[in-house]
């Protein structure tokens, strides 16, 4: 998968940008097999986390765009000079011994297309933007004829309000016939004809008015009203979300702000990368398809469709996997592509936690650039945790963050440092808010103001590093075969292999544990290596429970190797590096012609398609073909050299 594999390299031109409206809203033990998709741990946000996000309000647009770092290729390249390489992430081995070649991954975010594979094994596609027709709602459409007629001026005012041309205002419609029945019909008429608007009744100077306001406007917070929900309709609206250059959590936060609901009313089966075009199924509690479809008018880089009502939400880990379409640009080999790429269909690859994932933790949480520094939480060393987030550090960084860190180093005053941040929703801002509120003697509580997902990224990054390191040691010691003392899963339970069992199995059956209190370890020398590695970090492998429950590591099991399926590939040529080479769902909906590939051209690319099960990374499959470092650091350097 590609969840949380953030590869942000310079974009030439032609990529869409987020619209201003969006930016402003913003022996045996029972196995705990990873419940991840695209490589991300299955983490649930608590309601407290959602409240923290909602309470942070709307930020300055320029500051938000600056934080995202889009369009600042040189600055990003500078930041990546001190980024993680694959060796830093504990990745050392390849499965095959063929000679690889060079190529640039994710030169444009549109070069990486991810389609979720749903519970039934079907690839999720966005191919229908229409709203489902329901008999009960059809009767509501007919009701406006029986109620007070809206004037042309009122219709225009409501239309402007719906399209955010008057987002902070409202439209007041005087009630001509003061009866509850007539008012109810007028309420329904406005909300039916103008999805996204809410209404309430107000009395002004002895007269009653129906006041319409936008559900994404500040007025909605003053007097929220519950939307009526038909009894014969499922409580959850399921839809397909198409998004460009946004990860799943960012997308959910944007949708929740426009709909004025908490993010925890949304559910999904897995998280997807930011630097990609991704298509996945989402479910939301008691939000109508009409309101969701209205967002297609307001948001750039998003499309919502394939609406249906169901009685159940989605759960993390329910997906069957992901289907990837990947373009590697500027490939530099004249060798037979069939020999190199077709082996992807026949040979397995390691399921490493990619350096991109571990680097994403550093980018999202902005700790020191190595996952080992995340061990401070597990060591209960909260002063070090605070310092790692707030202290000045080498390497390029956003100017306001540099000023914030310098102020903190000089004064140790959280309120003074917080004033240097135009964007308070970043990790530094959230921790400083906590320190200002609870004091520097209560760092644990202050740290808890950071959303739970981000906090858990720290310790999961450390787990991932340990897993990568121990798999490298295991392959170095025993090669690519099952041996006595390895682990496999039997009916969801971890089992230690005997010598006889190892003879009958292959490396594809072998799993390795992420460290935790609910796993067992290999009984050969690699098992001892786990203990030694954790002991070197002052951690007790027999006591992985933490004083703070959230940071207790249960552990999980992960297969060492997997084999992709549905592999297809082709060599394509092109002259213009700005032309997209992938045909997206939105391109099809808009009847755009598919890309035309040249037989000969100035540049050459390799286009690959393949499917992977949950909790595996596409970049690690590509790494096995390229035989090169696919880390964000190396790919950025390749792209920078080419641009220069």
**Ordered DSSP codes for 416-452:** HHHTT-S-TTSHHHHHHHHHHHH-TT-HHHHHTTS-H
Counting Cβ atoms within 10 Å, is residue 19 exposed (0-12), middle (13-18) or buried (19+)? Answer: middle
Taking a C-beta distance cutoff of 8 angstroms, is the pair 193, 144 a contact?
Answer: yes
Q: Where is 461: in which H helix or E strand? A: helix 452-478
Q: What is the mean pLDDT of residues 595-613?
A: 89
Q: What is the mean pLDDT of residues 414-439?
A: 88
Taking the mean position of all CA atoms in its chain, how far away is CA 412? 33
Residue 639: pLDDT above 70? no
Name the average pLDDT for the chain.
76
Split at pLDDT 50, 70, 90, the class of 366 is very low
Taking a C-beta distance cutoff of 8 angstroms, is the pair 284, 237 a contact?
Answer: yes
For tokens 């426009």, what's the residue? 258
**Residues 449, 435: Cα–Cα separation, whole Å:** 9
Which is higher by pLDDT, 375 or 176?
A: 375
Give first-to-last CA distance, the chain, whole Å: 31
Q: What is the mean pLDDT of residues 546-571?
A: 88
Taking a C-beta distance cutoff of 8 angstroms, is the pair 242, 302 a contact?
Answer: yes
Angstrom CA distances, 12 to 67, 71, 108, 164, stand at 19, 9, 8, 31
Angstrom CA distances, 381 to 338, 387, 464, stand at 52, 10, 20
Q: What is the pLDDT of residues 192-242, one digit of tens each?
A: 777 777 888 888 877 888 888 876 554 443 434 445 688 888 999 999 999
Residue 328: pLDDT above 80? yes
- How many CB atoms neighbour CB 155 within 10 A? 14
- Residues whose CB falls within 8 Å of the CB of residue 593, separated by 6 or more in sequence, listed in order: none
Phi, psi dihedral angles at 598 (to 5 degrees): -85, 150
Residue 47: pLDDT above 60? no
- Residues whose CB falls within 8 Å of the CB of residue 558, separated by 6 or more in sequence, listed in order: 34, 351, 467, 511, 512, 513, 514, 615
Strands (DSSP E) found in 195-301: 197-204, 207-214, 236-244, 266-268, 277-285
Taking a C-beta distance cutoff of 8 angstroms, is the pair 463, 515 a contact?
Answer: yes
Residue 39: pLDDT above 80? no
Res 190: pLDDT = 82
- Residues whose CB falls within 8 Å of the CB of residue 404, separated by 6 or more in sequence, listed in order: 390, 417, 418, 420, 421, 428, 432
**Ordered DSSP codes for 155-182:** HHHHHHHHTTTTTT-EEEEE-SS--HHH
Angstrom CA distances, 89 to 83, 372, 464, 467, 529, stand at 11, 10, 8, 10, 17
**Residues 255, 267: Cα–Cα separation, whole Å:** 12
Q: Where is 471: in which H helix or E strand? A: helix 452-478
Res 638: pLDDT = 55
Using CA of residue 333, residue 336, residue 341, residue 343, what is the dihedral sign? negative
Active site residues: 273
**Residues 323, 334: Cα–Cα separation, whole Å:** 27
Split at pLDDT 50, 70, 90, the class of 462 is confident
SS3 282: strand
Q: What is the pLDDT of residues 608-636, one digit of tens each?
A: 899 998 878 787 778 777 766 555 555 55
Res 138: pLDDT = 40
Which is higher by pLDDT, 189 or 280?
A: 280
Split at pLDDT 50, 70, 90, the class of 60 is very low
Q: What is the pLDDT of residues 561-580, one digit of tens each?
A: 888 888 888 888 999 988 89
**Residues 25, 408: Cα–Cα separation, whole Å:** 29
Work out the percent of the chain whose per-residue pLDDT is above 70.
Answer: 68
For tokens 């060599």, what's the residue? 571
Of 279, 250, 275, 242, the closest CA to residue 110 belongs to: 275
Which is higher by pLDDT, 17 or 114?
A: 114
Taking a C-beta distance cutoff of 8 angstroms, is the pair 533, 466 a contact?
Answer: yes
Residue 30: pLDDT above 50? no
Residue 593: pLDDT above 90? yes
Of 590, 112, 633, 155, the closest CA to residue 395 belongs to: 633
Q: What is the pLDDT of residues 335-352, one digit of tens each?
A: 555 455 555 555 554 554
Res 161: pLDDT = 79
In this structure, what DSSP letter does residue 396 have? -
What is the greatest pairwise CA distance in the chain? Answer: 90
- How many CB atoms neighbour CB 223 within 10 A? 11
**β 561-562/349-350 pair status:** antiparallel
**Residues 66, 60: Cα–Cα separation, whole Å:** 10
Alpha helices, DSSP H only, in 303-381? 337-346, 355-365, 375-378
Split at pLDDT 50, 70, 90, the class of 38 is very low
Token pair, residue 365, equals 């949480």
Angstrom CA distances, 373 to 34, 86, 366, 451, stand at 23, 17, 11, 19
Alpha helices, DSSP H only, in 202-262? 219-222, 248-259
Taking a C-beta distance cutoff of 8 angstroms, is the pair 90, 462 a contact?
Answer: no
Q: What is the mean pLDDT of residues 129-153?
A: 62
Taking a C-beta distance cutoff of 8 angstroms, is the pair 395, 78 a contact?
Answer: yes
Residue 358: pLDDT above 70? no
């Amino acid at each position: 998968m590609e969840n949380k594999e953030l590869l942000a390299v310079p974009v030439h031109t032609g990529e869409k940008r987020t619209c201003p409206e969006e930016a402003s809203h913003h022996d045996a033990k029972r196995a705990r097999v990873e419940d991840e998709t695209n490589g991300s741990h299955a983490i649930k946000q608590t309601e407290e986390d959602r409240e923290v996000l909602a309470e942070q309000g709307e930020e300055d647009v320029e500051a938000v765009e600056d934080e995202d770092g889009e369009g600042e290729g040189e600055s990003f390249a500078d930041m990546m000079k001190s980024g993680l390489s694959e060796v830093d992430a504990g990745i050392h081995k390849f499965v095959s011994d063929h000679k690889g070649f060079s190529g640039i991954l994710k030169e444009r975010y549109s070069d990486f297309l991810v389609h979720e594979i749903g519970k039934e094994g079907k690839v999720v596609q966005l191919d229908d933007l229409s709203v489902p027709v329901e008999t009960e709602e059809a009767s509501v459409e007919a009701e406006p004829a029986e109620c007070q007629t809206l004037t042309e001026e009122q219709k225009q005012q409501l239309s402007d309000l719906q399209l955010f041309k008057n987002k902070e205002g409202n439209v007041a419609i005087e009630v001509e016939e003061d009866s509850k029945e007539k008012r109810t019909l007028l309420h329904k008429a406005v909300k039916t004809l103008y999805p996204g608007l809410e209404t309430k009744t107000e009395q002004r100077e002895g007269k009653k008015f129906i006041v319409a306001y936008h559900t994404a406007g500040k007025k909605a917070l003053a007097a929220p009203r519950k939307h009526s929900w038909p009894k014969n309709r499922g409580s959850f609206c399921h839809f397909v979300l198409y998004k460009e250059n946004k990860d799943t959590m960012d997308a959910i936060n944007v949708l929740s702000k426009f709909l004025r609901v908490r993010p925890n009313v949304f559910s999904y089966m897995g998280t997807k990368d930011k630097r990609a075009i991704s298509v996945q199924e989402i479910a939301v509690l008691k939000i109508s398809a009409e309101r969701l479809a209205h967002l297609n008018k307001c948001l750039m880089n998003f499309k919502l469709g394939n609406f249906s009502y169901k009685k159940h939400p989605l759960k993390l880990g329910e997906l069957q996997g992901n289907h990837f379409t990947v373009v590697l640009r500027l490939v530099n080999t004249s060798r037979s592509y069939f020999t190199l790429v077709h082996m992807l269909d026949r040979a397995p690859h390691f399921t490493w936690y990619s350096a991109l994932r571990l680097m994403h933790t550093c980018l999202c949480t902005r700790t020191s650039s190595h996952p080992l520094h995340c061990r401070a939480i597990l060591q209960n060393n909260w002063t070090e945790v605070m310092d790692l987030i707030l202290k000045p550090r080498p390497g390029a960084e956003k100017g306001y963050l540099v000023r914030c860190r310098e102020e903190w180093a000089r004064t140790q005053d959280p309120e003074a440092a917080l004033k240097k941040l135009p964007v308070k929703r970043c990790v530094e801002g959230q921790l400083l808010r906590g320190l200002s509120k609870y004091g520097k003697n209560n760092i644990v509580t202050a740290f808890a103001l950071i959303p739970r997902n981000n906090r858990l990224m720290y310790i999961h990054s450390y787990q991932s590093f340990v897993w990568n390191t121990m798999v490298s040691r295991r392959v170095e010691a025993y090669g690519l075969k099952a041996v006595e003392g390895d682990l496999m899963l039997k009916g969801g339970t971890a089992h230690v292999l005997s010598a006889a069992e190892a003879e009958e199995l292959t490396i594809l059956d072998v799993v390795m544990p992420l460290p935790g209190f609910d796993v067992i370890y290999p009984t050969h020398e690699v098992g001892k290596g786990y203990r030694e590695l954790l002991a070197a970090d002052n951690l007790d492998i027999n006591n992985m429970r933490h004083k703070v429950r959230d940071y207790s590591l249960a552990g999980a099991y992960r297969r060492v190797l997997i084999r992709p399926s549905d592999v297809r590939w082709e060599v394509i040529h092109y002259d213009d590096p700005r032309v997209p080479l992938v045909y997206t769902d939105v391109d099809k909906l808009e009847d755009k012609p598919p890309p035309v590939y040249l037989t000969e051209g100035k540049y050459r690319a390799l286009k690959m398609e393949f499917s992977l099960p949950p909790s595996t990374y596409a970049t690690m499959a590509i790494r096995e073909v390229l035989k090169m470092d696919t880390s964000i650091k190396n790919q950025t350097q390749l792209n920078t050299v080419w641009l220069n």
